[in-house]
Amino acid sequence: MQKRFKPSVTVAAVIEKDGRFLLVEEETANGLKLNNPAGHLDPGETPAQGCAREALEESAYVFRPTALLGIYLARSMKKSTGEDQTYLRMAFCGELGAHDPGRTLDEGIVRTVWMTPEEVRASAAAGRHRSPLVLKCIEDYLAGVRHPLSVVYADPSVLTKPA
């Protein structure tokens, strides 16, 4: 029997302020890479809630998703195991809130950086992005792509633990 295909579901925040985008620099098996504040969707949360949580954990900024940018797929080979991985990313944009400079960032996150679109594009060309989706999400944001949060429906059962 063939192994069932199960992409990893991730959520990402595209956060812009004064023409600059918030990225995180993180340690990976391929060295230091740049990424949108992003991570895996956890049980018991909607994608928008997961995005807000990941943004806070990785950047120490409060973030409130207000729109879905899109749903993206990317595939890669895990360097350490040779495992074929596919990621399904739901990317959101929204409102930037307070920053907590004393908050410890997630393990592996080295720092946050604010970059212009030109700097983001240059860092992509230099191979500095963790995923090709980093730039794609920002380009969609710049192009004005926005979908209402309601296009991602979460049944109330998502928010409760099964009996």
% pLDDT > 90, the chain: 82
H/E stretch holding 119 reads helix 117-125
Domain 13-148 CATH superfamily: Nucleoside Triphosphate Pyrophosphohydrolase (3.90.79.10)
Kindly list the distances between the CA atom of residue 131 and the CA atoms of 56, 85, 86, 104, 154, in Å, as whole numbers in the listed order: 20, 12, 11, 24, 26
Residues 6+ apart with CB under 8 A from 159: 44, 45, 46
Residue 1 has pLDDT above 70, yes or no: no
The pLDDT confidence band at residue 3, using thresholds 50, 70 and 90, is confident
Q: Domain boundaries in the chain? A: 13-148
DSSP string, 53-88: HHHHHHHSEEEEEEEEEEEEEEEEE-TTT--EEEEE
Q: How much of the chain, in percent, has pLDDT values that exceed 70?
A: 97
Per residue in 66-112, pLDDT tens? 999 999 999 877 766 777 788 999 999 999 999 999 999 999 999 99
